[in-house]
Amino acid sequence: MPYETEITIAAIAAVGTLVYAVRPRYTQRKTALLAKYRRIRTKSLKIQDVLSKHVMENDTINDNITPEMTYGQFIKIIKKQHQQYLSEKTYVKLKNSTNIFFLNRTKRLLEEQEQRLIKFERQLPAPKDKIAV
């Protein structure tokens, strides 16, 4: 083929242009995801704090928060969820990642965690304004 070199150069240029054009959008998405991660993480910690303070002040660790769950069980669940999905280790992994699939999976998991936190927040006995993020 007489134009093999030119075609190769054109293909490399096209790929380079595509990567250059997609990179800012990827960076914006990643920055927004990191901000959302921090916001949800902070909310989780505040819910844990409010709940722990309530238990300490009122000695309600074995009292029921719902008909099937005690305050102690509730605290364990929320701490486990936090450690599993919202830890600092996960944040650093997300921050250093360049894998678009990992970012998409993390975004989906964050949305699930946000919904769980909203559900947990509704069950809290404390005033809701203390938790607002």
Q: Over the stretch 109-132, which tens digit does the pLDDT of each residue have?
A: 999 999 999 988 887 765 544 555
Residues 44-79 pLDDT 10s: 999 999 889 988 988 888 988 888 889 999 999 999
Q: Is residue 9 in some structural domain?
A: no
Q: Tell me the mean pLDDT in the region 79-91.
A: 92
Contact 133, 46 (CB under 8 A): yes
Query: Residue 42's pLDDT band (boundaries 50, 70, 90)?
Result: very high
Note whether residue 54 is domain-resident: yes
- Does a structural domain hold residue 123? yes
In a domain, 66, yes or no: yes
Name the pTM for this structure: 0.74
Residue 58 lies inside a defined structural domain of this protein? yes
In a domain, 45, yes or no: yes
pLDDT of residue 13: 77
3-state helix, strand, coil in the chain (%, to 5): 80, 5, 15
pLDDT for residue 7: 82
The answer to whether position 23 is within a domain reads no
In a domain, 111, yes or no: yes
> For residue 37, what are the domain limits?
30-130
Mean pLDDT, to the nearest integer, of 26-55?
A: 91
Is 22:45 a contact under the CB 8 Å cutoff? Answer: no
Q: How many domains does the chain have?
A: 1
